[in-house]
Amino acid sequence: MTLTPQASPAPEQEEAPRTPADGQWHHVMRTVTSGNALVGVLAVVLAVLVGSILILATDAQVRETAGFLTARPGDFLAASRDAIGGAYGALFRGSIYNTRAADFQTGIRPLTETLKFAGPLIAAGLGVGLAFRTGMFNIGGRGQMLLAGGAAGWVGINLDAPRLVQLPVAVLAGMLAAALWAGLAGVLKARTGAHEVIVTIMLNYVAFYLLFYALSSQSILQAPGTVNPKSLPMDQNAVLPKVLGDRFNLHAGFLLALVAVAAVWWLLNRSALGYRFRAVGENPHAARTAGIDVGRTYVVAMLIAGGLVGLAGVNQVLGTVPSGVSTDLDAGIGFDAITVALLGRSNPLGILGAGLLFGAFKAGGFAMQASEGIPVDIVLVIQSLIVLFIAAPPLVRALFRLPTQEAK
Amino acid sequence: MSQTVTPASVPEAAEPVRIAVVSAKTTVVLAVLTLALAAAVGLAAQSGDTSFRLAVPTDVVRLPTVSVPSTATAWIVVVLMAVATAESLRRYLARRPTPLWLVALFAVVGLVGFLAWAAAGGTIPVIGLLAGSLLLAVPLVFGALGGVLGERVGVVNIAIDGQLLLGAFAAAVVASLTGSAWVGVVAAMAAGALVALVLGVFAIRYFVDQVIVGVVLNVLIVGVTSFLFSQVLTENTESLNTPPRLSAVAVPLLGDIPVVGPILFRQSPLVYLLYMTVAVVTYALYRTKWGLRVRAVGEHPKAADTVGIDVIRTRFTTILIAGAVAGAGGAFYTLVSVPAFNREMTGGAGYIALAAVIFGKWDPIRSTLAALLFGFASNLQGVLSVLGSPVPSQFMLMLPYVVTIFAVAGLVGRSRPPAAAGLPYRKG
Amino acid sequence: MQLALRDITKRFGALVANDHISLTVEPGEIHCLLGENGAGKSTLMNVLYGLYQADEGQILLDGEPRHFSGPGDAMAAGIGMVHQHFMLIPVFTVAENVMLGHEATRLGGTLDLDAARARVREISDRFGFHLDPDARVEDLPVGVQQRVEIVKALSRDAEVLVFDEPTAVLTPQETDELMAIMRQLRDAGTAIVFITHKLREVREVADRITVIRLGKVVGEAEPTASNAELAALMVGRAVELTVAKQPARTGDDALVVSGLTVTDAGGQVHLDDVDFTIRAGEVLAVAGVQGNGQTELTEALVGLQQHVRGSIRLDGHELVGRSVRDVLDSGVGFIPEDRQIDGLVGAFSIAENLMLDRSTDAPFVRRGAVQRDALEAFARDRLTEYDVRAPGIHTPVANLSGGNQQKVVVARELSRDLRLLVAAQPTRGVDVGSIEFIHKQLIATRDAGIPVLVVSTELDEVVALADRIMVLYRGRVVGIVPADTPRDVLGLMMTGERPSGVSA
């Protein structure tokens, strides 16, 4: 039999420990929030390794030399080294520091790109993570971001007001739209028991078509006189300001994400509301018995989670791509957020770290595609592998021949 | 105190006492739908006739095309819907549930009325609409069957989308390389099983949450297939991404039956494989030793363990079969629909299949019907956009998803998933 | 077939659940395995049944060493088990449950249900069980479900039959019937292992008794041994079988329940027109077999039930229709029957669990923030006061033993200003030391003038704590009787019979 580290001392109770009906979420919590840093590092190493194999296997040069592997092994090794070295060199130069740059300002630019990409990942990751802590799986990041982008974009285009008014209103409108959209899933779960995984997935599609409709209607968001589903660019007063001057793309969205990290940390670890979120997430039965309104807690948690994901959508529309709202404004962040939250173990600081890492992958991935011709999709592969490995510490331990954790 | 025991004065109720509890949900939904159609017809009245074409040019026996006045028909239908709603209300007030036949009748009549209104002045190719629906539903049905098998054995399979996508990819590449579409189908099934194997290793062997593994696997497969597509397929389109097609083949005799023939029996061989799969899965699940064990493991794995059933192995083999079934659905995309692989070409169909599983209450037949319904909704959208319907196409496209939300939020009724679905099994 | 266990040792990490346990069961004998909760009885049986692998030791059948790598092996060797938590698939029929794992099939793996039905009928006729092979198990009463378990084991020709705490869910009458079945099986030559912690049953049916404590065999006893002797052996010291308490000094009617009816979402009635009153300073104990409305009663009192009619008045204030929060705030303390599901958040620390039902305002929350200093000081005090054995207040409660977990729940509930205490199964799955402690706390609560409602399926506990006893059967009050009512009368009342001279 397998004893897991978190197994309570089974023989102490002769009654078989009954699993609460929502036990699977309890299990999610454990998967998400337990484990140690070493496994995290090894998971990243393992994922990068698998990514390397994928790059090698598909590299034309490597495949060619592999044909003469026995005759000329040197060529094969050199080709492999070039492919891998080129790929990860480009990844580094694209995400941290461009060693080939003429001056420091150009050299450090990739790092600011990493931060730019990390901003929405962190915000959305917090949204998913907060829902996790409350025992819900928010797969609706995409839909929430789309509606946030649509709402923020509408305000950013149409509200004719000074910067101090228009920008905050646009940001809040976006967050509110996403909050309500996520809250809908919360209400359905609380009132009817509809599983939020299904509902949020479905709401993604509904949101997509809603935004598509809005972008196809001249009276709502579509740029006048065009046929494409795209809006006008944002009013200058609604664009998030650049943080490091115009030479860098890094905008205030990243700072908003940092504020969100601090706020969520306080909420979860210090506030009574966060305490109730965690209680409901860990054991909804005990929470209900203790007088906590579980349904309302779900709704409130989803509202806040949606708001956080909305911040990511706002980040895109008002910061990274202010040239106009489109239906691909989420840029896959809604799903990336799930991996960020999992890697960060739904802990705000962990999410910050995971968001920075994946931001670096994103920035570097584009550089890798541009300079080495390796499709940026490799980043998606590495990201999802990291999460898979993180979620299965025994597998990582077995692969690296680490001692298994002593059962308590 | 003296106490002697006398026969029970508490009534011996053989059956537990029950008080009928009837939900108003169905009645409310019927009323909302009736009002919606009434509003649509009232606010955006259409003029002219609507024709329903019941034959295709190749029919041996050709049925005539039926034409009805658009607005009048729609109003008649609204009245009929109102009558059905009233009947539902009457039953609710009498504390009786609304029967399924009433809901089904309501749906069919309502649909006719909606079409009469939405396609005013045009002709609805009924055969094409239904045959196309069936075809569009093929990956959904395969996916849903895979989902049903997985959940019945206690493994929630969110990775259906990944199985469809990798199946589509494998079918395209292998069929291109071998020149045989059927080898492509086999490859698609193997690809689906491969995804299931990974799901199994993580979810069953390492107790990782099944929903998380499923979602992450979907992302992983999008990444892998997109990567390989850009890196390998686009440079070798001729040799790797030009699969032969599984074109429609008419079944002799059956294909000549009016209306039914062209819809059901002039389809791609993959559709015929689908019929067989539905039948086999249903029979195996409910009538065989294997099925009994699968259901036992999904309901109460510990009980199954205590009678000597290997829970882990049963779960593994079942999800491998489930993966192969779902993978076969992937072949639809590259061997039937478009003869080439493209990135993210399933468009999230796996999630719709998942919805069909729930909508179909974890039953293979009902889930198949649910998947067909979704196929119908998406095909209807296509047909109506050609006819120029007053409903924006985006809202039609939204329909399956909205329907699913309504379904999980209550229309499904008191449905019960397999008790152990989603829970990892740990011995002891 | 003779069963012998030799020096079985089973460890879980540092904990030794079974420490060199040896045991021999002869054919045609009922061998009792007696021990308190957590003594290691079930672990031993799970080793025997192949669910756990022993770290050391041997299992011998008729002198032959056998190795079971799973329950399938054990069953094939002729060992059957009637599990404490029935191992039945609720949505399957009786026949399907019985055939599962050794299915009769026709061509192509198709199930032969007719063969399974015939087998069920044959075995159940042999013992006069009257089982309908096509009934769905979830629709059957608990006692009948247990018979399905027995038929399941017998259908595999079990020669050694293990009954794991089989009487926990039965009425005294059903228990008697089960005893008769066990004797019948014994006389047919089956070797029977009977696991229990109930002394009375042991003495009634056992041919031999082995007592285990803390994973070790501490002795064998004759069926003629007295309760006190057996209890002392089981616990390792002299045990007070009764709770020391003064006669109740009761005050006015505090809790007045009238016409209380509880239904579930499916319309099934669980509590039917229940009336009772508890005075201040009095313990009303509710007796009855599990599943006769006790759970619904306690949950309705706290506001956890959705469909409630009737009236619950506490000190004149109506509680029906109010939220759980309101009910708790009006001074109701609640010890739920399943601490792991309803009482505690396993992953939370002891301190965090102690504020579970006070997470909105003072003393632990101020302006939306948790007051951690106040909470920790409070937790440290409770840890000492309630004798919770734990490394510290930040230990997750999931790591505590059952008894210590329950003390955390009791500490939390008794630390509020109470006007009513509702305690459901307050000592289920708890060691004897903790039972004594918790009983004292309940009596102290009563003596402080608070009305106390105790629900227990253990008649001993009911009798020990009660000032008055209310018996529930199928959701109705059979009667409310004095605490000194004879056990056989209580037993009959638990089957729905109302003694004359008792008013409902």
Q: Are residues A338 and A209 in the same domain?
A: yes
Q: Are residues A124 and A235 in the same domain?
A: yes
Q: Is A13 within a domain?
A: no
Q: Are residues B224 and B277 in the same domain?
A: yes
Whether A293 sits inside 8 A of C359 (CB atoms) is no
Q: Are residues A53 and A168 in the same domain?
A: no
Domains in chain B: how many in total? 2
Q: Is A369 within a domain?
A: no
Question: Considering B97, B121, B145, which residue would you say is the last residue of a domain?
Answer: B121
Residue of chain C with shortest Cα separation from A280:
C345
The pLDDT of residue B368 is: 94
Residue C7 φ then ψ, to 5°:
50, 45
Whether B292 sits inside 8 A of C49 (CB atoms) is no
Nearest-CA distance A203 → chain C (Å): 28
Question: Considering B121, B143, B177, which residue would you say is the last residue of a domain?
Answer: B121
Chain-centre distance of CA A305, in angstroms?
A: 13
Q: Are residues A68 and A211 in the same domain?
A: no
Closest CA to C160 of C220, C98, C75: C75
Residue of chain C with shortest Cα separation from A14:
C38
CA distance B15 to B9: 17
Q: Are residues B112 and B157 in the same domain?
A: no
Residue of chain B with shortest Cα separation from A204:
B401
Q: Are residues B142 and B100 in the same domain?
A: no
- The H-or-E segment that residue A62 falls in is helix A60-66
Q: Is B425 within a domain?
A: no
Q: Is A8 within a domain?
A: no
pLDDT tens by residue, A231-259? 999 999 999 999 998 889 999 999 999 99
Q: Are residues B102 and B187 in the same domain?
A: no
Residue C453 φ then ψ, to 5°:
-110, 120
Q: Are residues B110 and B239 in the same domain?
A: no
Nearest-CA distance C206 → chain B (Å): 26
Q: Are residues A314 and A405 in the same domain?
A: no
Which parts of B145-218 are beta strand (E)? Answer: none
- Cβ contacts of C85 on chain A, cutoff 8 Å: 15-16
Q: Are residues A209 and A126 in the same domain?
A: yes
Whether C266 sits inside 8 A of B414 (CB atoms) is yes
Domains in chain A: how many in total? 2
Nearest-CA distance B401 → chain A (Å): 5
Residue of chain C with shortest Cα separation from A282:
C345
Whether B227 sits inside 8 A of A24 (CB atoms) is no
Nearest-CA distance A19 → chain B (Å): 9
Helix (H, G, I), strand (E, B) or coil at C279: strand
Chains touching chain A, criterion 3+ CB pairs below 8 Å: B, C
Distances (CA, A) of C98 to A157, A181, C74, C150: 70, 49, 17, 9
Residue A20 has pLDDT above 60, yes or no: no
Question: In what side-by-side order are the strands of the sheet with C307-314?
Answer: C269-279, C253-263, C307-314, C317-318
Question: Considering B365, B393, B417, which residue would you say is the last residue of a domain?
Answer: B365
Nearest-CA distance C148 → chain A (Å): 20
> Among partner residues B18, B304, B427, which is closest to C51 by beta-carbon distance?
B427
Tokens of B221: 């497969």
Q: Does C85 touch chain A (CB under 8 A)?
A: yes
Which of C12, C350, C407, C434 is the best mutation test for A, with the most CBs of A within 10 A? C12
Closest CA to A20 of A32, A12, A28: A28
Report the 10 Å Cβ neighbour count for A371. 16
What residues pair up with C313 in beta bridges, in sequence order? C256, C318
**Interface predicted TM-score (ipTM) over 0.90:** no
The pLDDT of residue A156 is: 95
Q: Are residues A130 and A91 in the same domain?
A: no
Q: Does B20 touch chain C (CB under 8 A)?
A: yes
Q: Is B290 within a domain?
A: yes
The pLDDT of residue A403 is: 66
Secondary structure (H, E, C), B95-148: CCCCCHHHHHHHHHHHHHHHHHHHCCCCEEEHHHHHHHHHHHHHHHHHHHHHHH
Type of residue at C104: A
Whether A18 sits inside 8 A of C328 (CB atoms) is no
Contact A271, A262 (CB under 8 A): no
Numbered residues of chain A with Cβ closer than 8 Å to any chain C Cβ: 1, 3, 6, 8-18, 20, 26, 29-30, 270-273, 275-276, 278-279, 282-283, 285-293, 406-408
> Among partner residues B202, B211, B232, which is closest to A392 by beta-carbon distance?
B202
> Among partner residues A198, A202, A342, which is closest to B212 by beta-carbon distance?
A342
Whether B423 sits inside 8 A of A27 (CB atoms) is yes
Q: Are residues B241 and B277 in the same domain?
A: yes
Q: Does C113 touch chain B (CB under 8 A)?
A: no
Which of C100, C162, C471 is the best mutation test for B, with the most CBs of B within 10 A? C100
Whether A213 sits inside 8 A of B228 (CB atoms) is no
Residue of chain C with shortest Cα separation from B285:
C110
> Which alpha helices (DSSP H) does B288-363 contain, by range?
289-299, 301-306, 311-331, 349-359
- Cβ contacts of C53 on chain A, cutoff 8 Å: 1
Q: Does C212 touch chain A (CB under 8 A)?
A: no
Helix (H, G, I), strand (E, B) or coil at A111: helix
Q: Is B20 within a domain?
A: no
Q: Does C242 touch chain B (CB under 8 A)?
A: no
Q: Does C359 touch chain B (CB under 8 A)?
A: no
Q: Are residues B159 and B305 in the same domain?
A: yes
Residue B324 has pLDDT above 80, yes or no: yes
Residue A14 has pLDDT above 70, yes or no: no
Nearest-CA distance B277 → chain A (Å): 26
Q: Is B397 within a domain?
A: no
Whether B223 sits inside 8 A of A378 (CB atoms) is yes
Q: Is A4 within a domain?
A: no
Whether C346 sits inside 8 A of A12 (CB atoms) is no
Q: Are residues A317 and A398 in the same domain?
A: no
Q: Are residues B331 and B310 in the same domain?
A: yes
- Could you identify the residue written with the tokens 């041994």? C225
Please give the torsion angle defined by the CA atoms of residues C491, C496, C502 and C504, in that order, rounded to the nearest 10 degrees. Answer: 130
pLDDT tens by residue, A74-127? 888 888 888 888 888 888 998 999 988 888 888 999 999 999 999 999 999 999
Gap between the terminal Cα atoms of chain C: 51
Q: Are residues B116 and B145 in the same domain?
A: no
Contact B149, B293 (CB under 8 A): no
Report the 10 Å Cβ neighbour count for A158. 15
Mean pLDDT, residues B53-79 taken together: 82
What residues pair up with B424 in beta bridges, in sequence order? none
Nearest-CA distance C49 → chain B (Å): 8
How many residues are listed for chain A in this entry? Answer: 408
Contact C384, C334 (CB under 8 A): no
Q: Are residues A306 and A163 in the same domain?
A: yes
Nearest-CA distance B362 → chain C (Å): 14
Q: Is A123 within a domain?
A: yes
User: Residue B214 belongs to what domain range?
Assistant: 131-365
Q: Is B377 within a domain?
A: no
Secondary structure (H, E, C), B173-227: HHHHHHCCHHHHHHHHHHHHHHHHHHHHHHHHHCCCCHHHHHHHHHHHHHHHHHH
Cβ neighbors of A202 (< 8 A, separation 6 or more) are B351, B355, B401, B402, B404, B405
DSSP for residue A5: T
B123-125/B49-53 β-pairing: parallel
Q: Are residues B98 and B138 in the same domain?
A: no
How many residues are listed for chain B in this entry? Answer: 428
Q: Are residues B156 and B184 in the same domain?
A: yes
Q: Is A269 within a domain?
A: yes
Q: Is B186 within a domain?
A: yes
Q: Are residues A302 and A231 in the same domain?
A: yes
Q: Is B328 within a domain?
A: yes
CA distance B372 to B362: 15
For chains B and C, CB pairs below 8 A equal 138
Per-residue tens of pLDDT for chain C, all 504 residues: 899 999 999 988 777 889 999 999 999 999 999 888 778 888 898 899 888 889 999 999 999 999 998 888 898 899 999 988 889 999 999 999 999 988 888 887 899 999 999 999 999 888 888 899 999 998 888 888 989 999 998 898 889 999 988 887 777 777 888 899 899 999 989 999 999 888 888 888 999 999 998 888 988 888 888 888 888 888 777 776 677 888 888 889 999 999 999 998 777 889 999 999 999 999 999 998 878 899 999 999 999 998 999 999 999 999 999 999 999 999 999 999 999 889 999 999 999 999 999 998 878 999 999 999 999 999 999 999 999 988 899 999 998 888 899 999 999 999 999 999 999 999 988 888 888 899 999 999 999 999 999 999 888 889 999 999 999 988 999 999 999 998 888 888 888 888 776 654
Residue B12 has pLDDT above 60, yes or no: no
Contact A305, A124 (CB under 8 A): no
Nearest-CA distance B1 → chain C (Å): 8
Q: Is A87 within a domain?
A: yes
Q: Are residues B233 and B295 in the same domain?
A: yes
What residues pair up with B5 in beta bridges, in sequence order? C499
Whether A275 sits inside 8 A of C359 (CB atoms) is yes
Whether C13 sits inside 8 A of A407 (CB atoms) is yes
The pLDDT of residue B282 is: 96
Find the helix packing angle between A196-216 and B393-406, rounded to 10°: 160
Q: Are residues A297 and A161 in the same domain?
A: yes
Q: Is B372 within a domain?
A: no
Nearest-CA distance A134 → chain C (Å): 13
Tokens of C124: 């159940």
Q: Is A24 within a domain?
A: no
From the number of C-beta atoms within 10 Å of its C-beta (0-12, 13-18, 19+), residue B404 rates as buried
User: Residue A73 belongs to what domain range?
Assistant: 34-95+374-408
In C, residues 43-82, which contact B (CB 8 Å cutoff)? 46, 49, 51-52, 70-73, 75-76, 81
Between A367 and B194, name the one with better pLDDT. Answer: B194
Q: Are residues A135 and A232 in the same domain?
A: yes
Residue of chain C with shortest Cα separation from B292:
C100
pLDDT tens by residue, B269-280? 999 999 999 999
